[in-house]
Structure 1
């Protein structure tokens, strides 16, 4: 059937609105990218929008020529991979257990989990605890305290509660144990929510720097986010030289770009699972 004039107008307006929203979403990132490659004079004059002016890579060269940058970048990769793996194992096992109504004390464990979502011990008790455990200047100071996100836990719990019980009962009749059911039946059918949780945890650990500031005193153990944070702090007061002015002008854009780029590259591979994972695990009224 031929589209009516009203529907054609709607499609045109809808397409224009989507294009405008996409541009508004991409503009900040394009602006940061342009500033990162622009010279100090054009930045100070406010003449940089989405196209670099006075193209240069001075700040990139200064940052990426530092061996400390690459050492800290490698630390971030290791911390993110290990922390995400630990978090996924603990969150998945805890959420699967809480999803079973036959679990004794289920309400108590859910209450404890939700309580920690709103109340925490604070920075000083956490620091004393980490220090007493001997975890300062170790990877565990970053991994264990943040291993389970209660929001992610509740999302996965809701997803597992909606999982067909018939499949688990059939697997149990065939002789599978609880762990066998989880590993061979439930997890292979939960790729959407698992991929979503991996993305949530990976982004969180990749961007984290405050825990490292508290618990890691050795520069060789810092994540790259803490390195870039210190670089940004030192560049906030340039020494007056051309090189110092250049760093002060676009170091913020460079640090943002170097931090966000790996996650931007990872997201397309998980995007197809993202929306479905959140919707499947959403809490139903």
Structure 2
């Protein structure tokens, strides 16, 4: 009986390992291909001769995009949009989730139901655009940051995490003279780094890759984020700085831009992975 169980377990582990290796290959191949295409000759890429390894190695695409001033302007816009949005999202979400984690809060269930309602229904694109316009936020960083400042799903995850924290720690801080805001900043948030890192990573990645809000709220090209510049290359086939495409390097420039835009997130994720896993698990334990 044990021999059969051991054999079945070995077969399962082997099949599972083969499947996981196959899945890893599927996930890694697009990344390897994009990087190889970015440092290959444009004619080779356009002719479909690049499959895995670079052909006719050249860095002309990177030389071109790094020499484009619009790239650095877009990069700076993306960085500041992402940093400001992530920081304000964590502050606003924690400030709302903390009182909602307390059962003594008046109208707590009503507020939670109203928050949950926004997950199913919203005002729509046109009313949101009108509100942003009436508030005179167009062509500013606040048009990108404020409309999506708090995610209801992230709010519920953070509230659940706060509910799991020992109340005795907060009571001790209160007895030492800390107010509610001081308890949140000095006690709760430092103990909630896993969920903070998780929500921060989700928010940062979402904002880094976002382009639709910038597309509808920004008309000044000096405010464009990196994703708008990539869109102009990939879809319109235009150089945002010169207004025309260079057929000799256009294909490789597209792939080089994708590499440049993706690399920062790939570098940040490994440092937050342990918090990401822990925060996702703990935040979803309670209902």
Normalised by the length of structure 2, the TM-score is 0.88
1:76 corresponds to which residue? 78
Determine which of 229, 246, 250 is the counterpart of 2:249.
246
Kindly state the Cα deviation for residue 8 of structure 1 after the two structures are TM-superposed: 6.2
1:232–1:251 Cα contact (<8 Å) kept: no
1:184 corresponds to which residue? 186
Unpaired segments of 5 or more residues in structure 1?
A: none
Kindly state the Cα deviation for residue 236 of structure 1 after the two structures are TM-superposed: 7.7
1:30–1:50 Cα contact (<8 Å) kept: yes
Q: What CA distance in whole angstroms lies between the structure 2 residues aligned with 1:115 and 1:283?
A: 22
Unpaired segments of 5 or more residues in structure 2?
A: 240-244
1:98–1:106 Cα contact (<8 Å) kept: yes
Matched, 1:37 2:34: no
Matches within 5 A, 1:184-263: 184-235=186-237, 243-247=246-250, 249-263=251-265
**Deviations for 1:208-254, whole angstroms, at most 9, x for unmatched residues?**
111111111111111111122112233289xxxx941530x334322
Matches within 5 A, 1:81-120: 81-120=83-122
Normalised by the length of structure 1, the TM-score is 0.89
**Deviations for 1:49-102, whole angstroms, at most 9, x for unmatched residues?**
221112222332222211111111111111111111111100111111111111
Distance change (3 Å), C-alpha of 1:66 and 1:246: closer
Q: What CA distance in whole angstroms lies between the structure 1 residues aligned with 2:125 and 2:15?
A: 51
2:138 corresponds to which residue? 136
- Secondary structure of the 2:148 match is coil
1:165 corresponds to which residue? 167
1:232–1:255 Cα contact (<8 Å) kept: no
Kindly state the Cα deviation for residue 153 of structure 1 after the two structures are TM-superposed: 0.9
Q: What CA distance in whole angstroms lies between the structure 1 residues aligned with 2:10 and 2:210?
A: 47
Kindly state the Cα deviation for residue 42 of structure 1 after the two structures are TM-superposed: 2.5
Distance change (3 Å), C-alpha of 1:217 and 1:85: same
- Secondary structure of the 2:273 match is helix
Q: What CA distance in whole angstroms lies between the structure 1 residues aligned with 2:116 and 2:17?
A: 42
Length, aligned pairs only: 279
Deviates more, 1:192-201 or 1:225-234: 225-234
Q: What CA distance in whole angstroms lies between the structure 1 residues aligned with 2:285 and 2:215?
A: 35
Determine which of 21, 24, 27 is the counterpart of 1:25.
27
